[in-house]
């Protein structure tokens, strides 16, 4: 897997008209120069199929992959309001976010549930983008490394070490998401180095294969410095991904 990835998480934003305008702008932005890295968009699940069709109409489907923001661990059943990985793939998803900090906080997702969802993603043939990271309280208490390691270990214990090679990992310091705060490049690089070392302890090959993305208020004006850190292979972008030009600018910082 190519380690260079820039992913845009739209969260609960978007409409059909938003997608039409976004894809038009995206097409114009990359018309003269192809995207330099793996490019993934995570729209709300209800818009996956419409976004896939819109990208195809602009001949962008080969340049842009789609992902879902969440899934249910079961493949089917009496789970009103939920969607399985198999359904998401049927709608055009290739990737799925697993354990995003907002899911851990607002939906009370535990490490154990996150591990189950990671396994469900693999079962459905989706690439899981595992999100791990500490809160401000956890960082200030000096337990950031312990928290991040535990989040990673829960997936390894449930799915096995080799499972990690089938997706990617995003380190997202919770205190830097939607707050305007950003970990300094050195702070982000240190945590990415820790995660890479954790992977290396399991397998040197695994550590080289798995892309590690930074996900904490990434913008075009800080992306170059963040991506210059040795162990940062790309970004999971939130608010800035809602503007196609901005997301492309961030992707070009990784080239």
Domain of residue 87, CATH code: 3.20.20.70
User: Residue ranges of the alpha helices (H) in 100-243?
Assistant: 101-106, 111-123, 136-140, 144-159, 185-202, 204-209, 220-227
User: Which residue shows structure tokens 């904490």?
Assistant: 216
Instruction: Report residue 32's pLDDT band, with 50, 70 and 90 as the boundaries.
Output: low
Alpha-carbon separation of residue 161 from 11, 58, 74, 151, 192 (angstroms): 29, 39, 22, 13, 18
- Written as six digits, the tokens of 121 are 């993603």
Q: Which pLDDT score, from 0 to 100, does residue 158 have?
A: 97
Q: What is the share, in percent, of the chain residues with pLDDT greater than 70? A: 96
Q: What is the share, in percent, of the chain residues with pLDDT greater than 90? A: 87
Q: Which pLDDT score, from 0 to 100, does residue 204 have?
A: 93
Domain that holds residue 181: 5-254
- pLDDT of 40 > 60? The answer is yes
Tell me the average pLDDT across 183-200: 94
Q: Which pLDDT score, from 0 to 100, does residue 136 have?
A: 86
Q: Which of 72, 100, 192, 198 is catalytic?
A: 100
Tell me the average pLDDT across 144-158: 96
100 is catalytic: yes
Which one is predicted more confidently, 175 or 11? 11
- pLDDT of 1 > 70? The answer is no
- On average, the pLDDT of the chain sits at 94
CA gyration radius for the chain? Answer: 17
Q: Which residues on adjacent β-strands are paired with residue 40? A: 7, 65
- Kindly tell me the sign of the dihedral angle through the C-alpha atoms of 159, 162, 166, 172: positive
Of the candidates 38, 9, 33, the residue with the CA atom closest to the CA atom of residue 218 = 9
Instruction: Report residue 140's pLDDT band, with 50, 70 and 90 as the boundaries.
Output: confident
Q: Which of 116, 134, 138, 172 is catalytic?
A: 172
Instruction: Report residue 3's pLDDT band, with 50, 70 and 90 as the boundaries.
Output: confident
Length reported for the chain: 255
Instruction: Report residue 218's pLDDT band, with 50, 70 and 90 as the boundaries.
Output: very high
Which one is predicted more confidently, 167 or 3? 167
Number of domains present in the structure of the chain: 1
Q: Which pLDDT score, from 0 to 100, does residue 2 have?
A: 66
Q: Which pLDDT score, from 0 to 100, does residue 35 have?
A: 74
């Amino acid at each position: 897997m190519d380690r260079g990835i820039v992913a845009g998480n739209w969260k609960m934003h978007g409409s059909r008209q938003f997608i039409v305008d976004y894809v038009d702008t995206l097409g114009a932005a990359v018309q003269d120069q192809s995207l330099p890295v793996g490019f993934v968009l995570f729209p709300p699940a209800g818009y996956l199929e419409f976004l896939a069709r819109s990208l195809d109409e602009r001949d962008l489907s080969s340049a842009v992959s789609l992902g879902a923001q969440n899934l249910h661990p079961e493949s089917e059943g009496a789970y009103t309001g939920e969607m399985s990985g198999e359904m998401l793939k049927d709608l055009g998803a290739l990737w799925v976010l697993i354990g995003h900090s907002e899911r851990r906080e607002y939906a009370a997702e535990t490490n154990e549930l996150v591990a189950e969802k990671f396994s469900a993603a693999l079962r459905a043939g989706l690439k899981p983008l595992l999100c791990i990271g500490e809160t401000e309280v956890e960082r200030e208490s000096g337990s950031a490394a312990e928290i991040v390691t535990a989040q990673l270990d829960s997936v390894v214990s449930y799915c096995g070490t080799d499972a990690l090679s089938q997706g990617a990992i995003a380190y997202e310091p919770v205190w830097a998401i939607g707050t305007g705060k950003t970990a300094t490049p050195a702070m982000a690089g240190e945590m990415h180095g820790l995660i890479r070392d954790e992977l290396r302890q399991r397998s040197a090959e695994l550590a080289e294969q798995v892309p590690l993305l930074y996900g904490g208020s990434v913008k075009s004006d800080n992306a170059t410095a963040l991506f210059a850190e040795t162990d940062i292979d790309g970004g999971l972008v939130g608010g800035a991904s809602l503007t196609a030009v901005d997301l492309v600018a961030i992707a070009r910082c990784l080239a």
